[in-house]
Amino acid sequence: MKVLLTGALGFIGARIDAQLTARGDEVVRVDAVIPQAHAQGTEVPEGLHRLDVRDAAQWADLLDGVDVVCHQAAMVGAGVTVADLPLYAGHNDLGTAALLAAMHDRGVDALVVASSMVVYGEGRYACEEHGRQVPGVRSRAALDSGDFENHCPTCDRALSWELVPEDALLDPRSSYAASKLAQEHYTSSWVRQARSRAIGLRYHNVYGPGMPRDTPYSGVAAIFRSSLEHGQAPRVFEDGGQMRDFVHVDDVARANLASIDAVVGREAESWSAYNVCSGSPVPIIRVAELLAQAADGPAPEVTGDYRPGDVRHVVASPELAADELGFRAQVTPEAGVEEFATAPLR
Query: Which residues have a Cβ under 8 Å from the Cβ of 26 and sit 6 or more positions away?
Result: 1, 2, 3
The reported pLDDT for the residue numbered 310 is: 87
Per-residue pLDDT reduced to its tens digit, 145-161:
999 999 999 999 999 99
Confidence of residue 61 (pLDDT cuts 50, 70, 90): very high
Per-residue pLDDT reduced to its tens digit, 256-283:
999 999 999 999 899 999 999 999 999 9
∠ at Cα 29 (28, 30), nearest 5°? 125
Per-residue pLDDT reduced to its tens digit, 71-125:
999 988 765 678 889 999 999 999 999 999 999 999 999 999 999 999 999 999 9
Whether residue 37 is predicted with pLDDT greater than 70 in this model: the reply is no
Q: Is 158 helix (H, G, I), strand (E, B) or coil?
A: strand
Mean of pLDDT values over 231-236: 95
Q: Which CATH architecture has domain 2-124+162-341?
A: 3-Layer(aba) Sandwich (3.40)
The reported pLDDT for the residue numbered 222 is: 87
The reported pLDDT for the residue numbered 258 is: 98
Rounded (10°) CA dihedral 140, 142, 147, 153: -120
The answer to whether 123 and 313 are in contact (CB under 8 A) is yes
